[in-house]
Amino acid sequence: MPEGHTVHRLARDHTKAFAGQKLIVDSPQGRFADEASLLTGRKMTNVLAHGKHLFYEWSPGRGARAGANLVHVHLGLYGKFRLHKNPAPEPRGAVRVRMIGTEKTFDLNGPTRCEILSKADYQKLLDRLGQDPLKQDADPEVVWNRISKSRAAIGTLLLNQSVIAGLGNIYRAEILFLLGIHPEQPGASLSREQFDQLWQLSVDLLAIGVRYNRIITVDLSQAGKPASRLKRDERLLVYKKTRCTECNAKIRKWELGARTMYACEKCQK
């Protein structure tokens, strides 16, 4: 499942490519046909991201279109965008929605969610989500209050989107490794200093992910090559590794929070 950096990068790129334009909206697959008819010919005004959720804002409509001002997309495990230059090729696979702008078109296949939300439903969704490290108005105090009172393992808490929105399985493994924190350490046992480091590292690494459109946790000043030329194995420190990149100890691999965890129990006491 795409992590928060991917979704924020999509929001940035789609805003640049489509915001301010009147779009033709279609549903080649047919499952978004009614919603597409309410949107086609209207102006997309902005694209927002919160955690792993995308929101497309539209200019006010009239009549039946009046409440169709916000489209919510959650990619889930199988969702995928394809961006084309116009004229776009024939739809490939089961395209849930196609949006055609003046110069570019995007297709969306296989999302978990693709729906029109009312303002009230939009707010309810945001209220269920945790703070997003990539948003300027994020409040780490809210996250600290949740983590500092929880007996759950920090490795589980970091996957809980109602605690921190946008972190996924790769980032949790890499962040905990960089901080030397064992994934099974209870959230309530973290010191304030540890939490502050965890939050800032989340902010920094997600921002790097947006910039390069990929997860990079190695120190780029020591990578020996440009970020764009790093292979996946070279970009990460512990995720899917068999040996620790610091001490060469065997990496432990186990299930935590319904996902596979990777950690060096020599470096992460």
Active-site residues, by number, are 2-3, 52, 259
Distance, in Å, from the CA atom of 46 to the CA atom of 14, rounded to the nearest integer, reads 8
What string of H, E and C letters represents the secondary structure of 194-248? Answer: HHHHHHHHHHHHHHHHHHHCCCCCCCHHHCCCCHHHCCHHHHCCCCCCCECCCCC
Residue 116 belongs to what H/E stretch? strand 113-116
Those residues with Cβ within 8 angstroms of residue 48's Cβ, 6 or more apart along the chain or in another chain:
11, 54, 55, 57
Nearest C-alpha neighbor of 169 from the set 40, 96, 82, 259: 259
Residue 80 belongs to what H/E stretch? strand 80-85
Q: Return phi, psi of residue 45, to 5°.
A: -100, -30
What order do you get walking across the sheet with 24-26 strand by strand?
24-26, 95-100, 104-109, 80-85
Q: Return phi, psi of residue 95, to 5°.
A: -80, 115
